[in-house]
Structure formats: structure tokens, C-alpha cells
Amino acid sequence: MKEIVLHDKTFVPFIANDEIEKAIDSVAARLNAKYKGTGEIPVILCLLNGALMFTASLMRRLEFNVDLASMKVSSYAGTQSTGNVRIVREPTTDLKGRHVIICEDIVDTGNTMVFMDKYLKEQGAASMEICIMLLKPDVYDKPVKLDYVGMEIPNRFIVGYGLDYDELGRNYPDIYVLKQ
């Protein structure tokens, strides 16, 4: 792994792909333990674009039937959360009465999850579970329960495995951190 340059910033290797995949293995095992054999068909709600890679990787490991839906919400500008979450694209699947598993790349302030909690209640979802690849526990201070967490990381700005810096960096299979 070498450093990468995205726009005006340099990022250095931080989490290798095999470590990420191992974290996703354990999240998938917990979902399989809960849903396999129950006959329940939950909706996997992928939050685009960041959770695309995580959702694809996770879904390949699920051993029960799922519906896949996606929506796009936005709150970040550059390397900072704006604190203002807005819907860029609504899901096309009706979530009313459904058990929804939100798939998200990373939880930072938690503003996005607070927004999603309210949104899914408004949509009449039967239940909501949150499944995230990464958590910044030093920043997260919201009461919303995070049901499945792949890995905890320090409060640093990262890219790769779906995560971006102003839309660049999503394609790299490893995770990189902003060079200090």
C-alpha cells in the first residue's frame, strides 16, 4: 500500500482490505444468527454512495432472503460534517411495515442516523436496525442504538472502501487516513 493523492490532499494507508473483510465477516455472522431460518425478509437499505462497497460485501455473506433498497442522503462537505442532513434520492421500495436494516459506511456525529430513525418512523417501517462498517466512538454522542458495528476507529478523516473526499477515493479496496 502506498499513499494516494485526492484533489489537494495526501492520504496514507490505515486499514488493510483483509482487516475490513474480517470485520464484515463478523457483522454478517451476527445477521445470519438473527435472521437465518426465521422466514423474515428484511429490507437492506444501502445509503449511497458511501455504503455501496460495504453493502455489496456484506450481502454476499447473508444466508437468508433480503430485499435491497437504496437511498441517498448527504451531510458532508470536504472533510467536515455540515450537521445538516438532506435527502438527495428517496428509496423506490415501499418501507411501510417492513423490517429495515440500514447499511452505512461510517457513523461520525450520528446526525445521519438520527435523521434516518425519524425518516423510517415517518415511512411506517415495522422496525429499524443499524448496520455500519465503521464507527468513530469519540465523536458519536446520539441516543440511537447502533446494532452492528464492524470496527471502531479514532476521530480521523479516512477514505477508501466506498468512503470519499469530495467524491474521490471510493474505489480503493484499502482504507487511507489524511496525512497529518
Marked catalytic residue, from 108, 117, 147, 174 = 108
Q: Could you tell me the smallest distance in angstroms from the CB atom of residue 49 to ligand IMP?
A: 8
Other C-beta atoms closer than 10 Å to the C-beta of 86 total 10
Q: How far apart are the first and last CA of the chain?
A: 18
Q: What pairing do the DSSP bridges indicate for beta strands 175-178 and 9-15? A: antiparallel
53: nearest Cα among 130, 129, 153, 160: 160
101: nearest Cα among 86, 116, 84: 116
Among this protein's residues, is 164 annotated catalytic? no
Closest chain position to Mg ion (CB): 50
What is the binding site for ligand IMP (CB under 6 A)? 50, 75-76, 81, 104-112, 157-159, 163
43/134 with CB nearer ligand IMP: 134
35/58 with CB nearer Mg ion: 58
35/47 with CB nearer ligand IMP: 47
Task: Give catalytic residues, as residue numbers.
Answer: 108
